[in-house]
Structure 1
Amino acid sequence: MTKQAQQAVLAAELPERGQPLAGGVFVTRYWLNGVERAFILLPDELSGPWGEYGVKIEGADSYSDGEANTRAMAEAGSVIAIKALELGGHIPSCLEGQLLMAAKADGLVEIRGDRWHYLSTQFSANLAYIMDFSDGYQGYGYKLGERSVRPVRSIPIQ
C-alpha cells in the first residue's frame, strides 16, 4: 500500500533545515525541472539489489531526477524501487545524494556511514551509482549486490 504523502508546501511554512517536514527531515530547497522543491530525508532504510545485472533500464539515468529514475526502476521490477515508492518516496539521484551529504556534514541529518548506499542513477547495464556517506564519495557498483537505500521525498514549494 502506498503512503499518501504531502503534495506541496507553502514557502512561508517551510521549517528550518534539519526540522520535521512531510514525514521526514527537511534537507534543503532546490530546483528540479523548473520547479522549486523541498527535499526531505525519510526515516526508513531499505536494502536489496538495485536491479537485474546486465539489463539497462531506460529512463533511470538522470543525474538529478531521482523520482523519475525510481519509477523507471520500479516498472522494470526493482524491489527496492517499489518499496521506496510505497513509502511515498524515491531513491536519491546523484545530485540528491550530494544534497544529503551536505546536510549530514552540516549535522542536520543522520545517515549511516558504515556501508555503501545505492543511488537511483544508473551507470550502465551492469553498474549503478553508489555513495559512501562517511566521506561523500560517489562511485559505481554492481547492480546485483545488496546495498542500503535511504528513501527521500521531493515536494513543490508554492
Structure 2
Amino acid sequence: MKNLPAFEAKNVNITYNFFAAEAAAGQIHILQPGGDMPVIGEYWIGQGGINAGYVAARGDVPAHYLIFGDKDLGEFKWGRYQEESTAISKWDGDSNTQALVEAGGHPAAEAANSYQADGHADFYLPAATELYQAWAYDLIAKGAYWSSSQRSANYAFIMVFVDGYQGFYGKFNELRVRPVRRFFI
C-alpha cells in the first residue's frame, strides 16, 4: 500500500443529519470528551434522563444536547385560560417556562420546573419543537403532552405521540407533562 503524505487540520467542521433513520434506530454512537455518550433514546447517566439528541444553536440559545426526563410527571392544566402569555417561542422551552413560572398559575410549567434528577434542577416544560424532536426519535410512545408554547389566550401547543399530531388545545384541560433540560458540551 502506498504511503500518503500526512496533513494537519486546524479547523474541521463536520455536519451530520441527526434526524436520519440511522439515528432513530440507535446506530449512531459519538464519543464525548471523557467518556461514551449514549445513543439517542438511552438514559444518559448523570444527566437526569434520556438522550434526545443534538440541538443546533438558535438565537440566544447555544448548541446543546436535549435530555428528556425518563418519566411523566402526571397530568396538569396549562393554566391562565383566557390570558395572554409571553411564552410564545416554539423552540425555547426554557425561556417560556421561566416566563410562565414568574407569572404564576401555570401548573404544567411549575411541575416541570420543580422536577429534579441526578442532581440537576434545571428542568423545564419543552417547547413545541422540542416535543417534536422526541416524536421524531420515538422517545415517547403514546399520550398527549403540553408544550410551553402558547398559541393564544385560550390555547397552547400540544404533541400527540401516537400519531405525531401537533396542534393546540384549551389551556383549562389537563394533559401529560414530561420535563426536559439542556446539556452543554
Q: TM-score normalised by the shorter chain: which range applies? A: 0.7 to 0.9
Q: Over aligned residue pairs, what C-alpha RMSD do you find?
A: 1.7
SS at match of 2:52: strand
Amino acid corresponding to residue 109 of structure 2 in structure 1: A
Which of 127, 143, 161 is the equivalent residue of 1:93?
A: 127
Q: 1 CA distance for matches of 2:48 and 2:61? A: 24
Which of 45, 57, 60 is the equivalent residue of 2:72?
A: 45
Which of 103, 108, 126 is the equivalent residue of 1:76?
A: 103
| Structure 1 residue 112: Cα displacement | 4.5
| Structure 1 residue 18: Cα displacement | 2.0
SS at match of 2:63: strand
Q: 2 CA distance for matches of 1:11 and 1:123? A: 37
Q: 2 CA distance for matches of 1:71 and 1:140? A: 21
Q: Deviations over 1:95-124 (max 9, x none)?
A: 1011100111xxxx3x241x3211110001
Amino acid corresponding to residue 98 of structure 1 in structure 2: Y
Q: Who is 1:4 aligned against?
A: none
Which of 142, 146, 158 is the equivalent residue of 2:174?
A: 146
Which of 144, 150, 167 is the equivalent residue of 1:122?
A: 150
Unaligned runs of 5+ in 2: 1-30, 116-120
| Structure 1 residue 80: Cα displacement | 2.0
SS at match of 1:28: strand
Q: Who is 1:28 aligned against?
A: 53
| Structure 1 residue 70: Cα displacement | 0.9
Whether the 8 Å contact between 2:146 and 2:156 is mirrored in structure 1 is yes
Percent identity (aligned): 34
Whether the 8 Å contact between 1:84 and 1:91 is mirrored in structure 2 is yes
SS at match of 1:125: coil
Whether the 8 Å contact between 1:42 and 1:150 is mirrored in structure 2 is yes
Q: 2 CA distance for matches of 1:137 and 1:156? A: 29
Q: Who is 1:19 aligned against?
A: 42
Unaligned runs of 5+ in 1: 1-9
Amino acid corresponding to residue 66 of structure 1 in structure 2: G
Amino acid corresponding to residue 161 of structure 2 in structure 1: F
* Equivalent residue pairs, number: 141
Q: 1 CA distance for matches of 2:61 and 2:127? A: 17
